[in-house]
Structure 1
Amino acid sequence: MQFSENWLRSLVNTDLDSQALSHALTMAGLEVEEMQPVAASFSKVVVARIISAEKHPDADRLQVCQVDVGLSAPLQIVCGAANARAGLIAPCALVGAELPGISIKQAKVRGVESFGMMCSSKELGITAEASGLLELDNDAVVGQDIREHLDLNDHLFTLKLTPNRSDCLSLTGIARDVAAITGATTQFAAIPSLATEHSDVKQVMVNESVACPRYCGRLITGINAQATTPAWMVKRLERSGLRSISVVVDITNYVLLELGQPMHAFDAAKLDGDISVRFAKAGESLALLNDQTIELKADDLVIADKSGALALAGVMGGQASAVSETTTDIFLESAFFTPAVIAGKARRLGFSTDSSYRFERGVDFGNTRNAIEYATSLVKTLCGGQVGPITEVIAALPARDPVKLRMSRLVSVLGISLDPQSVAQLLTQLGFAFESADDVFTVAPPSYRFDITIEEDLIEEVARLHGYDHIPATPPVAALNMLAAPEQHLHLNRLRDGLVAAGYQEVVTYSFVDEGWERDLLGNHSPIKLKNPIASNLSVMRTSLWGGLLDTLTYNLNRKQERANLFEIGAVYHQQAGAYHETTRISGLAYGSAMPEQWATATADIDFFDVKANVDSLLGADSSTKHVVYEKAEHSALHPGQTARVLLNGKVVGWLGKLHPKWQQHYGFAKSTYLFELDADALVNRMLPAYQEVSKLLPVRRDLAIVLDESVAVQSVLSAINEENIPLIADVALFDLYQGKGVPENKKSLALSVLMHDTQKTLTDGDADTAIANLLQLLQIKFDAVLRN
């Protein structure tokens, strides 16, 4: 919301200077985002009138002017502006004047003395460009300081309003708040109710009374639409960010800015019959004032006549009924539209308007009739015409239910002591009607404060008027007790620290991803779609963290980072049986060399087993309380021959594998990319370690080489041995795999180290032989394995 400080000060009388006013507004919750002067600093520039303008004797484009600046005698000034002429009133910088980047001195221009400079708006710092001297009105007082004449000692305030403060989208609303903050007195002019001069009316039928609870309309005939908008109004509009269009449109915009009530004027001669407020019909279209033709939808509220839709209610009028220079009769509209009906309509069409911005946040429905009276008086003053009666339709307006404010609750929330008299004074400054009894205030919110609905809203109002800077920062006093930390639960930070120690770097990416990515890479054809995505390529919720990691890898490779170990801990989202589910995953990506480049070892690219070791560390695979299995599987994003489904204690908890070649080519990765993703909940739950007696006697080790079918997974062999729990065998580990000469085709040789011990006695060769025989028998029965010769 941008506005002129001088316009605001005409509505509220405060002694604060510009900086103090800006600070007071910000501290009261109306953040002043920017405050800037309307013109650059300059001095000794006055209103001047050119008495005569003669051609310079030695220059074709220069004129020697005699200029009246309000002194006893005119000044001679050499001027090169194309529009310099006798009788022109324009700014003149006197000798000694300091303009932006220019110091004015007495000088000779091509041999002719010049005692000043005639000025354009660019030279005064008012505009960036100018084609000639700034031409002033004929009633300008010669000799008057130009800053005073053009009201240049003014500032432009830009407020960064929160969505709940729609009442401050007008000068009147801001003036109310300034009065409440500073205790100053508002100076709102009384809005007269004009006597009607004819009886012609447009009947109004509101078919959708919930969407439009109040509608006012009035016919004004015989106006002069070619009248000139007065300079004071143009100045206020322009300093509020609106350009002057025509006198009628300027009046409606002026009322919008001052009172916060959007209005619209129809050319009455272009209306076919009476007015109706309804939702759009099927197949109906409307050509808007911005030259955009839209296909109306069933939830679009329109203002219509017999011929069809005239305007998109609360958003923009239509071309067919727009006022023009030939307009003589207008139909003024002032209405209240329910915010929910207007919200999102302009955004759907790809633009925003001042009207929709206000209506979708809430307009003062108690000011609807006042606004049309105010606009009528301006039309009457500036354009003439005859005023007709107001046609008004009122249905059930929004309820403004009383809100209770308990002193005990106020003190509890703010942490400071306030007496009821002080609170009553602050509520009075806000203009709130209230009753008090037993330290409870019952407040009736005014029609312009849509944000006052609960007790906390009133507490906020009291706090901001009392002053946030007057609320002391009191440290809390509380007993600090250490919370129990269950040993069975690992904090995610432990997993995070483990990956960082392994050389990974954490990233945080969007939970929104591209729908095509979900479909093609993950095979998810029914992702959770966002109703209002922030971008077309971020339209669905992710079901995996890999997309963000791959995008991050691409970003780094494009910046010559040839080695990347990345991980992310975040939520993924699924939809099952109509319900949404959110789970936490820990996902990683490895690309490039296994180790940073160094002199001591040769560079080698990272491989599947390097990443598997990191996953083992996360899973606690070195713990006897966890049983981890990597099971061969297929995944749409991973290489068919290097993909494993990860099982923890018999439950699938994630995936590990190499990126599929087609995706490797799609992303343009020169080296292999390895990915893993695990269920974080499964990783943070652990069993407590249990004590086992440690043998004081020496263990016995036997190495075996067995031959079995090459399709048998080593993990299944080791799992079968562990499950059998053969007496005396404490551990079995693979230390070699061989295929080739001496091993039959389609077979492989596994070299196993078997560790045996007994906590009670030293093992004999017979004990060891028996255990080995039991082991070989198990392997022969389950895997048709034989001892290698």
Structure 2
Amino acid sequence: MKFSENWLRSWINPELSSHELAHVLTMAGLEVEALESVAPAFSNVVVAEVLEVIKHPVADRLSVCQVNVGETASLSIVCGAPNVAVGMKVPCARIGAVLPGDFVIKQAKVRNVDSFGMLCSAKELGLAEESQGLCSLPEDAPVGVGLREYLELDDMLFTLKLTPNRSDCLSMAGVAREVAAIAGGALNALQVDPVLSNLTETIAVNIDVPEACRLYCGRIVRGVNSAVATPSWMMRRLERGGLRSINAVVDIANYVMLELGQPLHAYNLDQLAGGITVRYARAGEELALLNGQNVILQDDMLVVADDTRLLALAGIMGGIASSVETATRDVFLESAFFVPDAIAGKARRLTISTDSSYRFERGVDFSETRVALERATQLLLEICGGQAGAISEVHGKLPVRNAITLRTGRVKRVLGIVLDTAQITVLLKRLQFKFEQQGEDFHVMPPSYRFDLMLEVDLIEEIARIVGYDNIPAQPPQTTVMMVLQAETQRSVSRLSQMMVARDYQETISYAFHEAEVERDLCANTTPITLKNPISSQLAVMRSSLLGGLIGALRTNLARKQSRVRLFETGACFTGENYSQSERFAGLSYGTQLPEQWGVAACSVDFYDVKADIEALFAPAALSFLALPHPASHPGRSAQILLNGQVVGWIGELHPQWLQQYGISQVVVWFEVELDALKSADVPHVNEVSKFLPVRRDLAVVVDESVTVQSLLDVMLGSNASYVIELALFDQYRGKGVGDGKKSLAFRVLLQDTKKTLIDSEIELSIARLTEVLQQHGAELRI
């Protein structure tokens, strides 16, 4: 909503500057998006009349003019404008005037002829970006009066950024009403008296869709002079409201729309055949609009028609066939209340945007429908002449406005301030709300122009706006704050992320959906959860694993020439017909173990590097790994991850087939674990630090290829051999000296006591126990 400050102050003139007024409007919920001057600063420019124009004696393109500026003697001014003529009224910058750009007017000699001022164009005064010749003023412009005063150039333009619920402020009456409520002061509300009807002639009106058009008013006005000039005051207000002048009749309709918020439309009466009907369009009907656009209508679009053809797209734009032109003498004025739902979205569907549809979509005041028609008729008769007929009015079921109960105690509870019934009464009166008081309760009747007031909280918000949000003190919270206990056995996701970052990984975030082919290839999931309305064909199914997103992020990095990539992600995965959801933690590693450096030879990351990262994440809990195939992994290079005997995830090297398919040239090692298992941590137990040196013994055994290292470690750990503090594999051998289908495994055994130095007999007893359980498990001691 754009409007002139001068126009607003003719309605209400608060004791506030322009910027103060903008501030209070913004703080009351009517955001002032822009505040700008109508014209740039200039001084000593007056209205002048050209008395004489003669050709310059030595310059063909210059004229010497005698100009009346309201003084006893005329001024001689040299002018180069092609449109200068005797009798025209123009702006004249007198000697000493300062024009935009700090251009000072001085007495000058132009080609040997003295010039005592300057006749100005609109561009030179900063009133237009381009202009052809002098700025021509109306014939009745008073000579000698300052141009800024005559054209009201010391005016400011306000642009409000209104929320959709405040359609009542899409008019000068609405904004003035708000200013009166917010800033106080006397409101000079417009008083519209019914126009005396000189004609008995009417047009029959029929509403076929009373649910869409609840009220329709129209009247004939004959003998108007559409060619008459629109008054300058009206043109200024229209232009400063963002509308251009078309002709007097259309300008009056637009002016009343800006003034009262009710869109109107004027039809050329000579182009109407029979009565007026408001109905829905028939599918395929065509209408040529005022903007020159031919539209094909759909059966949910509201139209106004006569007995033979369509006249207008109701509430949006009229048709060109029945438009008012300068030769039009008889018109039919329309003012109607169309339900917002019947208008909303139709203009956008036809790629049209109009001030009328903008208002009807948000809701207009149905109590002003007839008043706006009377106001437009009044202006039409004053400016264009003519005789008005009686109003044809058809009623439907107008919106019902039910009283809202406002409780004084509830106001205090919501706003946190104490307002007694007397203060609330004053505030409701400032808002011009009708109400009845019963004890400490108010029964408020929402006005017809406030469609957004439906609940008690809406009225409380209105009270807050008028009190002023900045006048409501901030109250400290009245509650007891306690530290939330956090179990020592639970780790946060942020802590896990920090641990990964410390191990040289970087976090990535991907969509929770991807291609169905990714699910099939990497997860062997042929029945993924499919989205009904995917944002793209590449994001059509919900993910059951984080691996697809990580590979996508890896490919993005490789496309940008990154040679070493280590990524991790936390997110939800979705599986099953019941859409079960689980949180996972996953990562992958690509490239070299370490960043490129001179001190260590480059070595590609492998399965055991990532295995070490996983073990570090779960520490101090001990993990076990069970070699099993996975659809995403290289055969023989994947394993389940087990925690306390429960499967919690997978680790593996990406299958060569997928490396080739996704254009990845080196090994990719990935893992994925259940987040809940990762977040649960074992509490470390304190052991006494021994003063005595540990003893090392090595055990080398030969076993079948099918025997896993983990199974041997498990039986040794379960043997309860005394003094054993550590067991670890340090060598693996296949080849000469070891039979076919066999492998040699060498384990490091550390023994220690906290009380004394171990003697050989104690050591040998523990080693014998370990050897015994290994042999029971099929292992042969290698000498």
| TM-score, with structure 1 as normaliser | 0.82
**In structure 2, the residue corresponding to 1:367 is in which secondary structure?**
helix
Query: Amino acid of the residue matched to residue 702 of structure 1?
Result: L
Larger Rg: 2
1:708 aligns with 2:705: yes
Q: Relative to structure 2, which stretch is displaced further, 90-99 or 313-322?
A: 313-322
Which residue number corresponds to residue 780 of structure 1?
none
Q: Which amino acid aligns with 2:410?
A: R
> Secondary structure at the residue paired with 1:377?
helix
Picking from 522, 527, 530, the partner of 1:526 is 530
The correspondence for 1:774, drawn from 769, 773, 776, is 776
Question: Partners of 2:373 and 2:548 in 1: how far apart?
Answer: 56
Contact 1:726-1:774 within 8 A present in 2 as well: no
Q: For the Cα contact (< 8 Å) 1:574–1:582, is it kept in 2?
A: yes
Which residue is 1:623 aligned to?
621
User: Is the CA contact 1:587–1:675 (under 8 Å) kept in the aligned structure 2?
Assistant: yes
Q: Does 1:633 align with 2:630?
A: yes
1:341-740 matched pairs, under 5 angstroms: 341-487=342-488, 489-504=490-505, 518=515, 526-529=530-533, 595=594, 600-601=599-600, 614=613, 617=616, 620=618, 623-624=621-622, 632-634=629-631, 650=646, 680=675, 683-684=678-679, 686=680, 689=683, 702-704=699-701, 706=703, 708=705, 718=710, 727-728=719-720
Distance 2:577 2:58 in 1: 89
User: Which segment is superposed worse, 480-489 or 7-16?
Assistant: 480-489
The answer on whether the counterparts of 1:590 and 1:675 sit within 8 Å (CA) in structure 2 is: yes
The answer to which of 668-677 and 15-24 deviates more is 668-677
Between the aligned partners of 1:429 and 1:288, the Cα distance in structure 2 is 43
Is residue 17 of structure 1 aligned with residue 17 of structure 2? yes
Task: Indicate the SS of the match to 1:335.
Answer: strand
**Percent of aligned pairs with the same residue?**
46
The answer to whether the aligner puts 1:29 opposite 2:26 as a matched pair is: no
Residue 314 of structure 2: aligned partner: 313
Structure 2 regions of 5+ residues with no counterpart? 521-527, 755-761
Is 1:91–1:134's contact at 8 Å kept on the other side of the alignment? yes
Residue deviations 1:315-355, cap 9 Å, x none?
33344444444544444332333333433333344453323
Q: Could you tell me how far 1:677 is from its partner in structure 2?
A: 6.7
Q: Is the 8 A contact 1:664 1:672 kept in 2?
A: no
Aligned to 2:215: 214
Partner of 2:524: none
Contact (CA 8 Å) 1:528, 1:574: kept in 2 or not? no
Give the corresponding residue for 2:85: 85
Report the AA paired with residue 160 of structure 1.
K
Tell me which residue corresponds to 1:54. Answer: 54
Q: Distance in 1 between matches of 2:553 and 2:490?
A: 31
Contact 1:282 1:297 in 2 (8 A): yes
Q: Is the 8 A contact 2:324 2:331 kept in 1?
A: yes
CA distance in 1, matches of 2:490, 2:565: 30
The secondary structure found in structure 1 opposite 2:304 is strand
Give the Cα–Cα distance (whole angstroms) in 2 for the partners of residues 538 and 262 of structure 1: 47
- Render the CA deviation track for 1:208-240: whole Å, top value 9, x for unaligned: 333333333334344443333322222212212
Q: How does 1:9-158 map to 2 (within 5 A)?
A: 9-101=9-101, 102-158=103-159
SS in 2 for 1:50: strand
Instruction: Select between 724-733 and 78-87 the one with higher mean Cα deviation.
Output: 724-733
Give TM-score, length-normalised by structure 2.
0.82
8 Å Cα contact 2:512/2:572 also seen in 1: no
Structure 2 CA distance, aligned partners of 1:740 and 1:385? 117
CA offsets 1:608-651 (integer angstroms, 9 cap, x no match): 76666555555x27523x6677864346xx99999988787756
Q: Give the residue type in structure 2 aligned to 1:83.
A: N
Provide the C-alpha distance between the structure 1 equivalents of 2:39 and 2:108, rounded to a whole number of angstroms.
26
Kindly tell me: are residues 371 and 92 of structure 1, through their superposed partners in 2, closer, same or farther at Cα, counting changes over 3 Å? same
- Change beyond 3 A, Cα 1:171–1:308: same
Instruction: Specify the SS of the correspondent of 1:186.
Output: coil
Aligned-partner Cα distance in 1 for 2:253–2:343? 19
Matching residue's letter, 1:58: V
Report the alpha carbon displacement of residue 540 of structure 1 after superposing the two structures with TM: 8.0
In 2 relative to 1, CA 643–239 (structure 1 residues): closer, same or farther, beyond 3 Å? Answer: farther
CA distance in 2, matches of 1:153, 1:599: 75
Match of 2:757 in 1: none
Separation in structure 2 between the aligned mates of residue 704 and residue 497 of structure 1, nearest angstrom: 41
Q: 1-side partners of 2:87 and 2:231: how far apart?
A: 22
Deviation per CA, 1:187-214, whole angstroms, max 9, x where unpaired? 1221222233434444333333333333
SS of the counterpart of 1:96?
Answer: strand
The alpha-carbon distance between structure 1 residues 562 and 698, as it changes in their structure 2 partners (threshold 3 A), is closer
Count of aligned pairs between the two proteins:
759
Deviations 1:651-681 (A, max 9, x none): 6768987699989998x99988887776655
Where in structure 2 are the equivalents of 1:742-757 lying within 5 Å?
Answer: 751=745, 753=747
Distance 1:263 1:56, change over 3 A: same
Partner SS for 2:419: coil
- 1:549 and 1:727, CA in 2 relative to 1: closer, same or farther beyond 3 A? closer
CA contact 2:715–2:774 (8 Å) conserved in 1 = no
1:197-276 alignment runs, 5 A limit: 197-276=198-277
Amino acid at match of 1:27: M
Partner of 1:782: none
Shift of 1:741: 8.6
- After TM superposition, the structure 1 = structure 2 runs for residues 172-211 of structure 1, keeping only pairs within 5 Å, are 172-211=173-212
Structure 1 residue 270: Cα displacement: 4.1
CA shift for structure 1 position 450: 1.7
In the superposition, relative to structure 1, how do residues 587 and 192 fare at CA in structure 2: closer, same or farther (>3 Å)?
farther
Q: Secondary structure of 1:51's partner?
A: strand
Matches within 5 A, 1:158-177: 158-177=159-178
SS in 2 for 1:10: helix
Q: Distance in 2 between matches of 1:540 and 1:11?
A: 59
CA distance 1:662–1:546, shift in 2 (3 Å): closer
Q: CA deviation at 1:465?
A: 1.1
Q: 1:80 to 1:180 in 2, by over 3 A?
A: same
